[in-house]
């Protein structure tokens, strides 16, 4: 593709949505039976997106249903309201500025919040719950206690790396 377009490889193969919606379709267009491969490719993208959406949504639904048992009794209404909220929140991404909203979320919202959440989870589990209790739980599930490597990783290395990530 670089040779055909007369551009550098670094200019052709970019990251993000450009790669998925421009570079891959251009590559697929050069293959034999290109329309069939294009249908397969975009069906794969659709199913990948739906699967990711369902996995995250199910985690939210289960967690909130566990905290608020009344939601379990009215699960259909709760799921309908949750997905309506998803729809309303997703409308700005369908406007002309949608690409910029997605970039803002990818670059600023998701990364730091996930790192902070995982850092506090690592601290809570290894330090507050206690490494001895974790070791006993692992022994109960697997039959053997975790070795020193895992204990050091859970208590020191993982929180340290998460704390210094930018």
Residue 51 annotated as binding?
yes
Residue 102 in contact with residue 110, Cβ under 8 Å? Answer: no
pTM of structure = 0.56
Residue 122: which region, alpha, beta or left (left: phi > 0; alpha: psi -120 to 50)? alpha
Residue 84 annotated as binding?
no
pLDDT, average across residues 13-36: 76
Residue 27 in contact with residue 4, Cβ under 8 Å? Answer: no
Question: Domain residues of the chain, as ranges?
Answer: 96-166
Residue 52 annotated as binding?
yes
**pLDDT top residue among 138 and 28:** 138
Q: Please tell me the predicted confidence (pLDDT) of residue 136.
A: 94
pLDDT, average across residues 44-55: 88
């Amino acid at each position: 593709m670089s040779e055909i377009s007369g551009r550098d490889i670094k200019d052709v193969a970019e990251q993000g949505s450009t790669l998925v919606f421009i570079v891959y379709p251009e590559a697929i267009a050069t293959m034999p039976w290109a329309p069939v491969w294009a249908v397969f490719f975009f069906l794969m993208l659709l199913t990948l997106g739906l699967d990711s959406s369902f996995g995250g949504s199910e985690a939210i639904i289960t967690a909130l249903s566990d905290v608020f048992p009344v939601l379990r009794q009215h699960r259909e209404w709760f799921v309908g309201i949750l997905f309506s909220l998803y729809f309303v929140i997703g409308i700005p991404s369908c406007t002309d500025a949608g690409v910029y909203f997605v970039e803002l979320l990818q670059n600023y919202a998701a990364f730091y919040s996930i790192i902070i959440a995982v850092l506090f989870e690592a601290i809570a589990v290894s330090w507050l719950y206690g490494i001895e209790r974790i070791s006993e739980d692992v022994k109960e599930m697997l039959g053997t206690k975790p070795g020193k490597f895992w204990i050091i990783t859970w208590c020191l290395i993982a929180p340290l790396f998460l704390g210094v990530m930018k």
